[in-house]
Chains A and B, each alone.
Chain A
């Protein structure tokens, strides 16, 4: 069965420091992986996705994510955090056997302190 785990409920980082939000997954086929961000009282916004090809995926707002097949991980990263990056981040996974079904992680709240 498909599953996604975001092991940290909350991540705290100082502005200007690098940030990492962790995600691990389990699927039966090749994974298609997504990161979304949710600001207060807003819907989810797409950040980036991995379908195939380069393991390092670059997305919106300076975020990137690294696909690691051996560790079944897709961690979200940013070299220098901004206070405005504070939000709720969701990892999501699909595979071809799942069809329309997207499995979302429980979310990780990121706090960036000035």
Chain B
């Protein structure tokens, strides 16, 4: 999975609790992304980063925040988890600034269940 690890791989939590998911890459790629995967929706972009401390919102960013203090780490935080955030979360990376054409490489995913 292209030098990308995600932790934890599985998590069960309760509504209202904060949750942080971590993505770590060893490829030194500049661009990092967080997606969620839900049946019937494919993957949807939550947030992305185009450099250290440079982040922006995707199409489903409500209820999520991110931080990137180092090139290799991209954190996704659910400030107060809700059942609608039960999903599989994927981190992805890409190398170049040709954002339209560059290939994204994905991590193994984190399965999050919010009870």
Contacts and interface: CB of A to CB of B under 8 A. Distances in A.
Contacts of A101: 45, 58-59
A103 to B, nearest CB: 8
B1 A42 contact: yes
Contact of A102 (B41, B56, B104, B108): B104
A94 B43 CA distance: 13
Interface stretch (A11-19, A45-53, A78-86): A45-53
Given A42-B1, A43-B90, A95-B100, A90 B42 contact: yes
Interface in B14-29: none
Contact of A51 (B45, B101, B106, B107): B101
Contacts of B58: 100-101
A96 interface: yes
Contacts of A56: none
Nearest to B44: A104
Interface in A32-57: 32, 34, 36, 41-46, 49, 51
Interface of A: 4, 32, 34, 36, 41-46, 49, 51, 90, 92, 94-96, 98-102, 104-107
